[in-house]
Amino acid sequence: MNPRIVIIGGGTAGTITANRLSRVYGDDAAITVIDRDDRHVYQPGLLFLPFGLVDPNRLVRSRQAQLRAGINFRLGEVQRIDTEAERVMLAGGEEIPYDVLVIATGATLLPGETQGLTGPGWQERVFTFYTLEGATALRDALRGFDGGRLVINTVDMPIKCPVAPLEFSFLADWHFRERGIRDRVQIEYVTSLDGAFTKAVCNRELSGLLAGKDITVTTEFNTGEVDGTGGRLVSWDDREVNFDLLVTIPLHGGGEVIGSVPGLGDEIGFVRADRSTLQSSLSPNVFAIGDAADVPASKAGSVAHFEGETLVSNIQRFLRGEELEGSFDGHTNCFIETGFGRALLIDFNYETEPVPGLFPEPHIGPLRLLRESRLNHLGKLAFEWIYWNLLLPGRPLPGISDQMQLAGKQLNLLSTK
């Protein structure tokens, strides 16, 4: 009998997985993707939406339409996973049996977990751009914002696209300068981390950019409460930051269904998985990919792309009864938009932090790592086409390998360990 492979989640990671599997197996496997809706949002576009740089309708397409012919797309709410009986239970009682289960449920925003965050002021002076609705509402609020204190707050890690709050800060600076009111707006970036970024070389570069753009950074601020009426962020150790407009990046958690299986996920609902093979530590025929996995890599689309090859090859190995291959190295690749039509590019993995260099071809580029350039910005814009036409279909990206390459990188900048 053909193997039954069930994928929960039709977002970036689930779609990549399904399409890659379909290409490998053709008709020799029954591939099912389950999602609760048919709206696939191009999430990198949410960053540009508040500044009126992209139309919200352009960011949404059908999930099903991104899947290759032959893949079975099911609309439904997964209520429970039974790893013993190897079945997924949908709301309404239907059961879907699997030989291999892939969990690609992504990350869920949990604004309600921070006291006061969704209370008075929510969607009036407190917004997030991490949803289509939030980013659209923020766009309208920014249009009417003529001066005051704009605060960008990352409540706690992990979050999707950890550089997005910084990019938002850079773009806000640009936006207000274009409008000629930058001198009337104070921008403050408030983070739970002990720096703008956790990796040393990159932190230096980004801190310099923030200072140059007159953006204040407040670190090690663990938000305990948001007072939307009084315009105050209050930390657990009783520090306060005042705001007129708050852009929050709320707490993230894993899919609710992860909690239905004891031992499957960590305390905040991300699937415990091997960081190199992506196999769940609970059940050998369960795998996790993308934001849903608790591996110590960024929650970013590029990670899901680079994980895709490892995951599909390991599913094949598992079904053939072979040993798995620990080939995922934590490879991450992100453009960081810095405003004024420029961007940085970073490329790193579990072992090697982002450093300057040339990418993807050593000594040639044409993209420069960890340095602002016009070309990096154009790369970021081109990524939208790449996302729908190469990344989601599960095709390789030209010139970019799944494993991070050391060639072309200035590794001498890294302190010896």
Partner 1 sequence: MTTTTPLGSPIELDPEGFFLRPEQWDETMAEPIARENGIGALTERHWQVINFMRHSYLTTGSAPSIRTLGKASGVPVKELYQLFPKGPAKLAAKIAGIPKPRGCI
Rule CB under 8 A: which residues touch partner 1? 156-158, 162, 192-194, 197-199, 220, 222, 224, 236-237, 251, 266-268, 272, 296-298
CB of 370 to partner 1, least distance (A): 14
Alpha-carbon dihedral sign for residues 158, 162, 164, 168? positive
Write down the residue that tokens 């091997």 correspond to.
274
- What is the closest distance, in whole angstroms, from the C-beta atom of residue 389 to partner 1 in the complex? 28
Residue 322's alpha-carbon distances to 28, 58, 110, 318, in angstroms, are 18, 44, 39, 6
How many CA atoms lie within 13 Å of 84's alpha carbon, on the beta-carbon side?
A: 4
Q: Which of 311, 364, 306, 356 has its CA nearest to residue 331?
A: 306
Give the integer Cα–Cα distance in Å for 231 and 212.
27
Q: Give the SS3 label for residue 251.
A: coil
Rounded distance between C-alpha atoms, residue 298 and residue 181, angstroms: 35
Cβ distance to partner 1 smaller for residue 27 or 194: 194
- The DSSP line for 247-285 is EEE--EE--GGGGGSTTTB-TTSPBPB-TTT-BBSS-TT
Distance, in Å, from the CA atom of 340 to the CA atom of 153, rounded to the nearest integer, reads 23
**Comparison of 119 and 224: residue with beta carbon closer to partner 1:** 224
Kindly tell me which of 123 and 260 has the beta carbon lying closer to partner 1: 260
The nearer residue to partner 1, 102 or 251, going by C-beta atoms, is 251
Q: Considering the complex, state which of residue 43 and residue 332 has its C-beta at the smaller distance from partner 1.
A: 332
CB of 199 to partner 1, least distance (A): 7
Pairing mode of beta strands 126-127, 108-109: unpaired
Q: Number of helices (H) and strands (E), helices first, in the chain? A: 6, 24
* Residue 328 CB coordination number (10 Å): 28
- The secondary element (H helix, E strand) that includes residue 312 is helix 301-319
Closer residue to partner 1 (CB): 141 or 414: 414
Query: Closest distance between partner 1 and the C-beta of residue 70, in Å?
Result: 36
Whole-number minimum distance, CB 366 to partner 1, in Å? 26
Task: Kindly state the smallest distance separating residue 52's Cβ from partner 1, in Å.
Answer: 29
Q: Which is nearer to partner 1, 3 or 330 (CB)?
A: 330
Phi first, then psi, for residue 282 (nearest 5°) are: -90, -45
SS3 sequence, 370-381? Answer: CCCEHHHHHHHH
Give whichever of 219 and 410 is closer to partner 1, judged by the CB atom. 219
